[in-house]
Amino acid sequence: MLALIQRVSQARVEVNGQVTGRINQGLLVLVCAEPADTDALADKLVAKLLKLRIFSDAQGKMNLSVADVRGGLLIVSQFTLAADVSGGNRPSFTGAAAAELGRRLYERVIATAQALHPVVACGKFGADMQVHLVNDGPVTIPMMLRG
């Protein structure tokens, strides 16, 4: 699975002008499933998100997790994370999972996060979304998990 994690002071996602998810302090997580990804890998992604120590402690060091700061998770599907631009100027997205698998794993990430964390919001799979965020730091971390 591929993810791009952004530490935010606030973020929201809109579909057709309607807010589908909103958080204050927390993590905006763009998620892309790949063809070989599994439920176990989706669960591993959520576990890593909840434990990732990228929030500042009292000494200003990145030492706290989203759970420690009681922040939110805003999870948004983003198949373009699998873009391959090595062959030319038009990206290829053949590295992304097929839509059915992508949707299932995206929904798995959301369900697992909701079972383990009190503040979880999300986008809408396959929709044209507008994502608004205030990146805190800025802190942006790419993550690639393999089975």
DSSP reduced 3-state for 19 = strand
- Contact indicator for 5, 53 with CB cutoff of 8 Å: no
Supply 79's token pair.
């198949």
- Contact indicator for 15, 126 with CB cutoff of 8 Å: no
CA neighbor of 30 nearest in space, from 83, 85, 90 = 83
Catalytic residues: 78-80
